[in-house]
Homo-oligomer: A and B are copies of this chain.
Amino acid sequence: MTSTMNRQIRLAARPVGFPTAESWSHTSEALRTLNEGEIQIKTLYLSIDPAMRGWMNGGKSYIRPVEINEVMRAGGVGIVVASQSSRFAVGDYVSGSIGVQEYWTGMADDKYGGFYKIDPALAPLPAYLNALGMPGMTAYFGLLDVGQPKAGETVVVSGAAGAVGQTVGQVAKQKGCRVVGIAGGKEKCDFVVNELGFDACIDYKNSSVKDDLKEHCPNGVDIYFDNVGGEILDTVLTRINMKARIIICGAISQYNNTSAIKGPSNYLALLVNRARMEGIVVFDYVKRYPEAVKEMSQWMAQGQFHTREDIVQGLDQFPAALMMLFEGKNFGKLILQVSSEN
């Protein structure tokens, strides 16, 4: 372990609406010596996720809130730079909950960090924060386990060019479904159709989602994987089929509301169509991650599955990167590169 400083970004205040500069504090502290059983990880990449906004709120949720003055929670990929544990060796690449900081130090079997080794030969490191990481696992198990798609069914996914959406659509195509994405802007729509192989993509910023759903889903919608909530959820509800499944993965359109969240006015479509709306939280599937990684990495190796990342450089850019996400400015899975791989 070299003697050096660890720079960190901490939650300074719980935001109302969008996070601002006042939401964060930038701190620095000396790295400490390891105790028996501990490891030290140098952060390479951090995952920037919509869920982060929820972690900044107080109150009960599926995971405890980040406390004031705590290092902001973030999943990431790093390299072990010091080890007093038999589980990890220096030079191992790992993934887990690193936090928004340059180094993570703690027990190798820490339940909060939950680090596991990853193989940089199998896929580029950023892919482990995308299709082979939490967003990919969310997409895979949300679609297959909650959505139960059958070949020939029509799957619609919002946030189609984002980390979860990319994977939902590609997995659905592999399972023989018709896939229609919803994304913001022509560039994103072209990407999911031309590079990821979706059947169609609706540009919600420049066309009528209602009209385009009619055109691109002539047989109605059997599965809707919702990452955005708000008006788009309501519009899709008007097009669902009997026994449709709505997978509630997120509601990025609503996370920064200063007033109440807008509930889906058309929820009675669930009644008319005997349909189901169900939530997914990826942590429930931890034990089954290997089956998803195995299947998706095979598709990748066969050239049938693609990922796209949007990589922002530098720890200090974390607050700006998070805002990019809420403004829809990222194109692909948003990742913060904290240190170079070499």
Contact = CB atoms under 8 A, between A and B. Distances in A.
Contacts of A274: 278-281, 284
A269 B250 CA distance: 11
A270 to B, nearest CB: 4
Q: What is the size category of the interface that chain A forms with chain B?
A: 20 to 34
A39 B118 CA distance: 75
A161 B295 CA distance: 52
Contact of A250 (B248, B250, B271): B271
A62 B272 CA distance: 5
Interface of A is mostly: loop
A270 B265 contact: no
Chain copies in the assembly? Answer: 2
A61 B278 CA distance: 22
Contact of A276 (B61, B264, B266, B277): B277
B234 A272 contact: no
A5 interface: no
B278 A270 contact: yes
A278 B275 contact: yes
Nearest to A244: B279
A90 interface: no
A250 B267 CA distance: 11
A248 B271 contact: yes
Contacts of A281: 271-272, 274
Interface of A: 60-62, 229, 234, 248-251, 254, 260-281, 284
Q: Top 6 A-B pairs ranked by shortest CB distance?
A: A263-B263, A271-B279, A270-B279, A263-B265, A263-B264, A276-B278
18 contacts: A62-B271, A229-B268, A248-B268, A248-B271, A251-B268, A261-B266, A262-B265, A263-B264, A263-B265, A263-B266, A267-B267, A267-B277, A270-B278, A270-B279, A272-B281, A274-B279, A274-B284, A277-B277
